[in-house]
Amino acid sequence: MSAATSTATTTSGTRACASCGTPRRSRRVGWTFRVRDGVAVSVTCPACPTYAEPIRRLAPNLAGQVRFRAVVGVTPPGGTRRQHTRTFPTLPEAREWVALVRSQGSAPSRETVADLVGRWVASRTDVRAVTRDGYAAWAAPALRVIGHRVAAEVTVRDIEHLTVTLTERGGRGGRPLAPGSVRAVLIPLAGAFDLAVRDGMMPANPVRIARKPRTRARVGTDLEHWTPAQLLTFRETSDRNEWAPLWRLTLAGLTRADVMGLRWCDVDLEAGTVTVAQGRVVHGSGTATDEPKSAQRRRTVPVEVIHPGTAGMLRSLHARQAEARLAAGSRWRDTGLVAADALGRPTSPRDYSARFAVLCAEAGVPPIRLHSVRHSLAFWLHSLGVTPADAAALLGHTVDVHLRTYLPASGASGIAAAAAALGHAAEG
């Protein structure tokens, strides 16, 4: 279209973008002119759809966000013409969708559920590689049942039948899956069908609509945890263990991934702090190291303040590793990790959890999961009057997640407190 304007007469309608109103001034590169009878009657800027595209720029919403609505009509073989409408946050996404719908208009997609899930997992570049692998692993039980099916043909009834099948025999060896596990299986499946809906393969996501097994989430004091006295009893016993400095880090609120991924360059022995800059998790038969799972997990923890003597333990461990390095010579594996053996090899996360269970028995405290030490600290912090925001910061949570997990009734109490404050002010 723009080439035609070389011989076309322009009008006042070409002084600004017809879609967003941006002044054109003397610019022409990237601008598209609409020509009628040799006259350029309007123009659109590079940031807006052209008049020939089935895309319309929407007015900004209340948050000031601009979106683009695409409307495409396709006629499948032997079928009736159908109109597809989607709204996108960016123009490139809208154009990509239009091209996809048009390319599939003559031949409905025969992509299988397994291929769709694989495509969705590969598209999740916004999460860690280990998380993507986790999605693939969780989807496996569902793919064993419906992986061969054409994704566009899967119905809500198919998904509900799938949940029943998984509940009865979805686990290893045909064993039943618990309701919570079934819901976990459906998470990547729902994400994959969201992609199918976005791509115009189907009008709605059957996984989102289908009924799912009921579960009772454990929140608040239902979560297993130690009392402060039990936590300190464990500390007394674990201080006599060869991994004493590592247990101190766990008792300061670090996750297993935090401890296993901690490097000496992240430890400030003088300040008595450790900085969580990466995590190391179980990945297949080995481990994988990546950035913390969220921005909140990236934090500096004053472990010496929480458990006095921790810095000294870490200093002693550092000295022992230096001696071990000299003794190992060329066999030493320089990982830079705090949790390493006599040859510098990374400590196994599974071994760390297994040793924790043994120490619980030695200390005579209730056996809890390693991760539940963090629950214990959260409840202890609340009993001390620490604000939820400060407790969440120490543990690497968002305030919203922290409140929903540990103080589920805080919303109601907050409403009551706010109402009482307004009542007192009105009386005064």
Distance (Å, whole) CA 316 – CA 322 = 10
Q: Are 56 and 27 contacting, i.e. CB atoms less than 8 angstroms apart?
A: no
Q: What is the mean pLDDT of the chain?
A: 88
* Structure confidence by residue, pLDDT tens digits, 274-292: 999 999 998 877 888 888 8
- Residues in a beta bridge with 274: 267, 301
Query: How many distinct helices (H) and strands (E) make up the chain?
Result: 16, 11
pLDDT of residue 1: 39
Q: What are phi and psi of 213, to 5 degrees?
A: -60, 140
pLDDT band at residue 4, thresholds of 50, 70 and 90?
very low
pLDDT band at residue 41, thresholds of 50, 70 and 90?
confident
pLDDT band at residue 194, thresholds of 50, 70 and 90?
very high
Quick one: tokens of 119?
């495509």
pLDDT of residue 29: 85
Q: Are 272 and 310 contacting, i.e. CB atoms less than 8 angstroms apart?
A: yes
Q: Is the confidence at residue 33, as pLDDT, over 90?
A: no
Q: Are 77 and 71 contacting, i.e. CB atoms less than 8 angstroms apart?
A: no
pTM for the predicted model, two decimal places: 0.65
Worst-scoring range by mean pLDDT, 204-218, 302-316, 324-338? 204-218
Worst-scoring range by mean pLDDT, 185-199, 205-219, 244-258? 205-219
Q: Is the confidence at residue 337, as pLDDT, over 70?
A: yes
